[in-house]
Amino acid sequence: MNEPAIESRFEEYLKRQNLKMTPQRRRIFEKAFEVHEHFSVERMYEWLKAETGPAVSRATVYRTLEVLEKGGFIEAVETGRGEVVYEHVLGHEHHDHMVCRVCGRIEEFQDEEIETLQRKNAEKIGFVMTGHLLRLSGICCDCSASLREEGRFEATLKELGA
């Protein structure tokens, strides 16, 4: 799906929610679909503040990302470190996430076996699956290596409840 089609869907969604496509919402929408990385509210705010265009407050960024998420245009990923990051999902193939609880790094992955098992389990109990979010949390290879080198790997595992 191309961006003009997604933008048209967003405008229709806003109308159904009795909201308008303001210049600020348009800027946030465009930036969310321009970037190809996970971003926080703060990161989005900083990007927009550094660019020219209609002024956008943090509160407007927060509210607009919430609208985009409720409409299914973006998804939130909890990092396990008290931070939520977002990514656009329309026009992209489904994928899942591995999130490092030490540094917050997010690795995306796709595994058809996992997808098949989820569908089979849903069908088995008569559940009509319309989508899913899979987030594996743990320690990335870089943090694991650093923690082992520092002799803190086992202690960190305990801290994380592993």
28 shares its domain with 44: yes
Q: What is the pLDDT of residues 46-90, one digit of tens each?
A: 999 999 999 999 999 999 999 999 998 999 988 877 789 999 887
Query: Which one of 39, 74, 92 terminates a domain?
Result: 92
Average pLDDT, the chain: 92
* Nearest C-alpha neighbor of 20 from the set 10, 30, 6, 33: 10
> Looking at the structure, do residues 77 and 122 belong to the same domain, yes or no?
no
Q: Quote the DSSP letter at residue 115.
A: H
Domain that holds residue 62: 1-92
User: Cα separation of 78 and 69, whole Å?
Assistant: 13
Sequence length of the chain is 162
Q: What is the DSSP string of 34-62?
A: H--S-B-HHHHHHHHHHS-SS---HHHHH
Query: Of 75, 92, 109, which residue is a domain's last?
Result: 92
**What does the alpha-carbon distance between residue 28 and residue 17 come to, in Å, rounded to a whole number?**
18
If asked whether residues 7 and 66 sit together in one domain, one would say yes
Is residue 103 domain-shared with residue 53, that is, in the same domain?
Answer: no
Distance of CA 60 to the CA centre of its chain: 18
User: CATH no. for residue 140?
Assistant: 3.30.1490.190
> Would you tell me how many other CB atoms lie within 10 Å of the CB of residue 105?
16
Give me the pLDDT at residue 146, please.
96
How many independent structural domains does the chain possess? 2
